[in-house]
Amino acid sequence: MVGFVIVSHSRLLAESVADFTRLMAERVTVIPAGGLEDGSFGTSYQLISDAIEEANSGDGVLVLMDMGSAVMTTEMVLESMENHKVKMVDCPLVEGAVAGTIAAAGGQSLELIYRNLTKSGYVNKF
Amino acid sequence: MNKEKIILVIDQMAVAMEKQKEFLTELDNVIGDGDHGINMARGFSEVIKKRDSLAKMDAGDMIKNLGMILVSTVGGASGPLYGTAFMKAGMFLKGKEDITFPDFLEAFQCAIDGVMARGKAAEGEKTMLDSMLPAKRAMEQEWTISGDGKKSMEAGLTAARKGMEDTKKIIATKGRAAYLGERSIGHQDPGATSFVFLLEAIASQM
């Protein structure tokens, strides 16, 4: 099953998003990587890197980020890994996490979930 | 510039980041998330902890590893940005024990290209590039005229400081400052400012 990593500047925000996905996709692995090691705001290369390892069961990992350095730091982690089964997704963080984990729970592949999530930013809320 | 001098440059960079921590944070408080000074000081203090192992490497690896330490310890946007800059410069300088001024200019260009690619940014967007690019142009120009590294570095510093001042006139379109729109006018960019301090550290050992 595809795993997920939630990267945010805020530890609480990342944990909450991960927690929120359990409501509908309890079996999916979602690892938060929020804030710095000491819990303060920021993005940590090490936490992101560890979270990706932890989330990967063999079927790949999708990484969702909030903004700015979360995106750039994730990009650098992925460059050093060169693992094609780990992708960062450009999508809204909360909607993407919910939609993605439900799809993963239904057994969808990394590529299919990735493709659908990249389009999720264009769906109007109302 | 030989390896011993480069280590001294790194020391100076760390001293400057510690000394300017409050000032950079003040700048970042107004148009960013207020962590630039603290982040840079933390990154460079980690670099200093690894000073002995850095000193054993060739100039290229030393600079590349410095970048890798920044990426893993800075914790804000300046981590991946400066990290990429140093890593790209270091990769270009790989295997060298001594850096000539033309080497430095080419490595500097690699650093700039790295920052542009990582931040998807260009000149005139109120970022560190607004002091980096004018510095590079002025150095190249002076080097072509005089062939004097010290003078070229001075010219670069003057241009970098002007570029830094000029960021006050720019409306931010990158980073969190972009959300402020016109309210970002009048404020100096923290990244363009920290770059001036880093360049001063290089100049101090020439």
State the CATH number of the domain containing residue A57.
3.40.50.510
Strand ranges, E, within B38-182: none
CB–CB contacts below 8 A, A to B: 44
Residue type, B38: I
**SS3 of A55-86:** HCCCCCEEEEECCCHHHHHHHHHHHHHCCCCE
Query: What is the C-alpha separation between A45 and A57, in angstroms, rounded?
Result: 21
Residue type, A70: A
Facing B72 at nearest CB: one of A40, A46, A68: A46
For the stretch B122-157, pLDDT in tens is 999 999 999 999 999 999 999 999 999 999 999 999
Facing B76 at nearest CB: one of A46, A69, A75: A69
For the stretch A29-72, pLDDT in tens is 999 999 999 999 999 999 999 999 999 999 999 999 999 899 99
pTM for the predicted model, two decimal places: 0.90
Of A3, A8, A9, A17, the catalytic one is: A9
For the stretch B10-33, pLDDT in tens is 999 999 999 999 999 999 998 888
Name every chain A residue with its beta carbon within 8 A of the beta carbon of B119.
Answer: 72
Whether the complex's predicted ipTM is more than 0.95 is answered with no
B72 in contact with chain A, both atoms CB, cutoff 8 A = yes
| Total number of domains constituting chain A | 1
Who contacts B192 (Cβ-Cβ below 8 Å, separation ≥6)?
Answer: B126, B127, B128, B129, B130, B131, B132, B163, B164, B167
Q: Is A84 a catalytic residue?
A: no
At residue A106, the 3 state secondary structure works out as coil
At residue B2, the 3 state secondary structure works out as strand
> Is B80 in Cβ contact with A69 (below 8 Å)?
yes
Q: List phi, psi (to 5°) of A31.
A: -105, 120
Residue A99 belongs to domain spanning: 3-122
* CATH number for the segment(s) B3-203: 1.25.40.340
Read off the DSSP letter of residue A43.
Answer: B
A76 in contact with chain B, both atoms CB, cutoff 8 A = yes
